[in-house]
Chain A
Amino acid sequence: SQKIEQNSEALNIQEGKTATLTCNYTNYSPAYLQWYRQDPGRGPVFLLLIRENEKEKRKERLKVTFDTTLKQSLFHITASQPADSATYLCALNDYKLSFGAGTTVTVRA
């Protein structure tokens, strides 16, 4: 069966450190993979999209890698800030957008 797993439900880090989130998938062949941020009681907000032929994508303090052999994406938040505290969702595009359950990141000041 198809499955999207995000490494942990919660991640607590100190301000200034790098948060690394993992997204693993099975039985998908996505053309792209996306990362979204979701705050409590709100809809997801698009952050980054990476295509199957791209190894890495950056946007400001965010970096995403995509390894189609390992079937894994890593999402990094560098120089983390308390304002980065949120739930981060990975999502795969095949014929539809399928989401992982998310990892809740808490950045301590």
Chain B
Amino acid sequence: GAVVSQHPSWVICKSGTSVKIECRSLDFQATTMFWYRQFPKQSLMLMATSNEGSKATYEQGVEKDKFLINHASLTLSTLTVTSAHPEDSSFYICSAGTSGRGDEQFFGPGTRLTVL
């Protein structure tokens, strides 16, 4: 199956700093990438959908100025958490699909962010 990687797998940062998470589709071209957040024992919550070369579409309640998403190529999307605070600590997971509707999404291994 298709492989999606994320980097880093975990990161610890100080409050107020920015953190960038990369999501790469390794063996296919992803027209659409999705960013999710998961708190312990909760479901994955979609944060935003990004299509290559266009602006991301954010879900209601997600601050687009805080969670910057760039989808510069068909194999790379980045999520930057700006001015991170402890409440941003979570498990961030990206997925990639080949259609906007997302028949099957291929998920990355996730990035654990801890903000001190």
Contact = CB atoms under 8 A, between A and B. Distances in A.
Interface of A: 4, 9, 31-32, 34, 36, 41-46, 49, 89, 93, 95-102
Interface in B58-116: 59, 91, 93, 95, 101-110, 112
B40 to A, nearest CB: 10
Contact of A99 (B4, B6, B43, B102): B43
Given A49-B104, A93-B101, A93-B102, A42 B44 contact: no
B34 A97 contact: yes
B93 A46 contact: no
A22 B42 CA distance: 17
B46 interface: yes
B103 A32 contact: yes
Contacts of A4: 43
Contacts of A97: 34, 46, 95, 102, 105
Interface residues of B, number: 26
A102 B39 CA distance: 13
Nearest to A90: B43
Contact of B103 (A42, A43, A49): A49
B102 A96 contact: yes
B10 to A, nearest CB: 9
Nearest to A46: B104
Contacts of A45: 107
Contacts of A89: 43-44
Contacts of B42: 101
